[in-house]
Structure formats: C-alpha cells, structure tokens
C-alpha cells in the first residue's frame, strides 16, 4: 500500500472541490471507493461505488487514497498510466450510470500530469481480495 506521508509524490490526489463532493456523497453512503474507469462509456471518469457493492479485481492496483477513500485502477490501465499522477476533480454534468455522483448535477473527472524526470513517485500495491 502507498504511504502518502513519505517523500514520494502520491499516485492520486484530489482538488478541494472533489474532497468536498466526497463528503457530500458520504453523507448518504459512508463507505465508498473509487475505480478509475477505462470503459468505452465513461472515458476517464473515476467511478464512485459503495464499498460493499464493488468487488476489487485481483489485478486491480490501489493507487492510494483521497480523503480517506481508496482509489483503484485496473492493472492493464495502470501499465499505461504508471508515469502519471491522477488528479480527481469535479465538473458540472452527470456521473456514470452506476457511479454515486450520478444525479447530483456534478461529476468526478480525472485530470493528469506526467511525473517529471527523476521525480520520486509512490509505488502502488496490487489489490488483494482481502484489501477491501
């Protein structure tokens, strides 16, 4: 697992607007997680699910946490984005059909930045069936 208190840059961060939106969603669904979508319908939207209703895959990678909420990505997608820091933000619009941000007139959006040459970045952990 990533220890965000170390000197390395975290793999995933969030804007204050995203952290505030997470707290709003947690008022209705206290235990949530994010999975970075790589599907055809939601593009680069991080999907927000109740933890009890989402099974983390054996090859999913835990990038870290934002506001105490774990963020996962598929192993194959991580292989493509491993040199990138994901920044979770909020924009006007509708969330993914099954994502908890749907119907709130705002949605989560993933922005990104490449890690600079020589910049230390945290090494994520591959999720295990017991990690969630």
pLDDT digits (tens, 9 = 90+) for 70-128: 999 998 888 888 888 999 999 998 877 788 888 888 999 999 888 876 555 555 655 55
Residue-level pLDDT at 24: 96
Residue 26's φ and ψ, nearest 5 degrees, are -65, -20
Cβ contact 73:60 at 8 Å: yes
Task: With H, G, I as helix, E, B as strand and everything else as coil, classify residue 13.
Answer: strand
Q: Confidence band (pLDDT; 50, 70, 90) for 33?
A: very high
Model confidence, pTM: 0.81
Strand partners, 114: 84
Query: How many Å apart are CA 7 and CA 3, to the nearest integer?
Result: 9
Residue-level pLDDT at 81: 84
Query: How many Å apart are CA 29 and CA 50, to the nearest integer?
Result: 6
Asked if residue 39 has pLDDT above 50, the reply is: yes
């Amino acid at each position: 697992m990533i220890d965000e208190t170390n000197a390395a840059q975290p793999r995933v961060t969030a804007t204050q607007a995203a952290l505030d939106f997470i707290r709003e969603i947690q008022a209705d669904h206290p235990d949530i997680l994010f999975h970075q979508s790589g599907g055809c319908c939601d593009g680069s939207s991080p999907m927000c699910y109740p933890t009890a209703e989402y099974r983390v895959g054996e090859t999913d990678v835990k990038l870290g946490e934002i506001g105490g909420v774990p963020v996962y990505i598929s192993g194959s997608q991580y292989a493509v984005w491993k040199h990138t820091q994901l920044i979770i933000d909020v924009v006007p619009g509708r969330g993914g059909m099954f994502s908890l941000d749907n119907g709130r007139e705002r949605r989560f959006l993933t922005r990104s930045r490449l890690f600079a040459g020589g910049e230390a970045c945290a090494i994520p952990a591959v999720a295990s069936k017991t990690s969630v």
